[in-house]
Structure 1
């Protein structure tokens, strides 16, 4: 993949190039040149002035929201880390993304489509997660699914009193009602202020089941819409929407963000007396980013090859044999595929065997291969027919990395001593 602008974005890198200690270690975030972990004060001076190559639109966004920008940049690094994980056995393994502006991918290979989608997903995911953590001034929990705490407590109190009236708890439970029941009883409607019976019957199974299924939105749902919008404004602004490169970028960016949105999960917390689950409060959380990467890897393997003619009409035309169409989909093994949720590309990938800066290929010389494999990590495939050497190697690798806001990563150092097969 050619990077038209060879600006070094080394100040973006969160990950250090090597770990010097075998213990769990805090790596400073070179994005902001911070030397301490924790919650720094993020200002335009500490963020925006350190970033080279920003467009005017991006600079305005950064000055307006430096904390969100820092979160977005951290999302880019999480995405690069994930890209390297999923393509670790491929000839092009995302390693070159760390040395350049990852937004400036100009080639339109299948690998380009995957990396663009993953970067857009990383920004949306990181910003939405930081919002829910209360780390960003411009956003918080998703307002649409945010229930008023007093209303939730009132709802719980009503259900508990109904349970008492129907015989849901015995005398032993009435003496240990939750604090919200007692503290808010004086504010209840008159029809709910009843004397607890001295002899109570247990509820019928169907009544108990219906009570267990009662839930309301509560907690703090991740504001994925805010993350999606910031990712779109940050990454989709470059280039004319009629240019085929820009259209491919915008399309694949949207597919990446959509994977995050489509895989939001509902988490719930039970409320009730003595460990019961009379009532649930639920909230939406972003999917694990490893899942996002895996789903996009599947789309990478089935990406659609489109015509490269730039007809200036904003429409992709799939090439024959793809089993897809731009609007309603096409046939693929008897099933219709919609291009709207698929990755697209219009340049056939080179072999990536040799170093070639014009296509962003680092080559495969020195790569470790698997001589017993028949897959893409085999020595015959990865070494491109050049053969391999067998060496005893002791090396240190960063492993089990966990990204933290803002802006550092915790990694362990894994030391390995083994015989390896290395491409000539």
Structure 2
């Protein structure tokens, strides 16, 4: 979906986007302008991902494949994949809330609940301006982004759902109250305020910290949630990132992307794309390139 939305622009063809489940295709048809907004926001969260991992062996580099931004990395359930799902989910929320506030979408505008008067630590104020409608963006993001994972419900799907939610919550975490003062000589005796999203960098910084402290987990005996994979690990909270397996070896050059790839053999023949979780089944030639890579010499440190 990322590639399609980013390149089709106004000619979004929901029926031709591979890998969408029925719920996603239905939402796509109903809200084409929202899909365009999601596509236009891809470069923002991708740029933030690359900023957070600049100068690292894995630097959030992308591939030239049509249906998948991150190549064979997404075959794994590592902490890097946890970050990708979280930052992309956060990016969808941020993009949609901003598009609502800017009047780019017919289905939403400013937050209609921010009316009348309220108060904070500084005293009373009146709601005014245009508050970012982050709750609407959260609901749509959850409905669309999570749809495929809710259909699968295996260990990886549970991991992705958890990290998607952590990403969404991160945007809401950094909502701020911005105010304009009125009164004689700047006394600020009267204030007009609105709720606004903070710069997306704060969300990126927060998720990078969560990446550093990500918790390795195993699915619980009921298959409904997680428990820490090792007894000395903390139990994961709702705001934590979780992963199921160790990170791959990024000291091997990936010819397709020019970055560093995993030196281990993937466990499945599917390439999974991000926002919609759409699936691309590799051709016979691609399967050979994925599963029969010759041994390569590691780059010296």
TM-score by length of structure 1 reads 0.55
1:86 corresponds to 2:55: no
- For structure 1, the 5+ residue unaligned runs are 1-7, 14-29, 33-41, 153-209, 326-337, 366-383, 389-424
Identify which of 216, 219, 228 aligns with 1:305: 216
Post-superposition CA distance 1:302-330 (Å, at most 9, x none) = 000112x57453120102255312xxxxx
Aligned residue number for residue 252 of structure 2: 354
Aligned residue number for residue 160 of structure 2: 249
1:54 corresponds to 2:20: yes
Distance change (3 Å), C-alpha of 1:89 and 1:322? farther
Cα deviation for residue 73 of structure 1 reads: 2.1
Post-superposition CA distance 1:351-390 (Å, at most 9, x none) = 1222469xx985449xxxxxxxxxxxxxxxxxx96348xx
Aligned residues of 2:87 and 2:204 also touching (Cα < 8 A): yes
| Equivalent runs, 1:18-57 vs 2, <5 Å | 30-32=7-9, 42=10, 45-46=11-12, 48=14, 51-57=17-23
Aligned residues of 1:103 and 1:116 also touching (Cα < 8 A): no
Distance change (3 Å), C-alpha of 1:222 and 1:348? same
Post-superposition CA distance 1:70-102 (Å, at most 9, x none) = 112223331111111111222222212674435
Q: Find the residue that maps to 1:317 and give its secondary structure.
A: strand
Give me the whole-angstrom Cα distance separating, in 1, the residues matched to 2:14 and 2:50.
Answer: 27
Identify which of 160, 164, 180 aligns with 1:269: 180
Aligned residue number for residue 91 of structure 2: 122
Distance change (3 Å), C-alpha of 1:351 and 1:220? same
Greater displacement, 45-54 / 122-131:
45-54
Distance change (3 Å), C-alpha of 1:57 and 1:238? same
Aligned residues of 1:131 and 1:223 also touching (Cα < 8 A): yes
Distance change (3 Å), C-alpha of 1:270 and 1:315? same
Give me the whole-angstrom Cα distance separating, in 2, the residues matched to 1:108 and 1:362.
Answer: 22
Structure showing greater radius of gyration is: 1
Give me the whole-angstrom Cα distance separating, in 2, the residues matched to 1:48 and 1:233.
Answer: 16
Aligned residues of 2:14 and 2:28 also touching (Cα < 8 A): yes
Identify which of 317, 341, 352 aligns with 2:227: 317
Aligned residue number for residue 194 of structure 2: 283
What is the root-mean-square deviation of aligned Cα atoms in Å?
3.0
Q: Find the residue that maps to 2:238 and give its secondary structure.
A: helix
Cα deviation for residue 279 of structure 1 reads: 0.7
Aligned residues of 1:92 and 1:361 also touching (Cα < 8 A): no
1:231 corresponds to 2:198: no
| Equivalent runs, 1:22-421 vs 2, <5 Å | 30-32=7-9, 42=10, 45-46=11-12, 48=14, 51-96=17-62, 99=65, 100-102=67-69, 105-147=74-116, 213-239=123-149, 240=151, 242-307=153-218, 309=219, 311-320=221-230, 323-325=233-235, 338-355=236-253, 363-364=259-260, 386-387=299-300
Q: How many residues align?
A: 260
Give me the whole-angstrom Cα distance separating, in 1, the residues matched to 2:253 and 2:220.
Answer: 30
Post-superposition CA distance 1:270-298 (Å, at most 9, x none) = 12245432211111111211111111000
TM-score by length of structure 2 reads 0.76
- For structure 2, the 5+ residue unaligned runs are 262-296
Cα deviation for residue 31 of structure 1 reads: 3.9
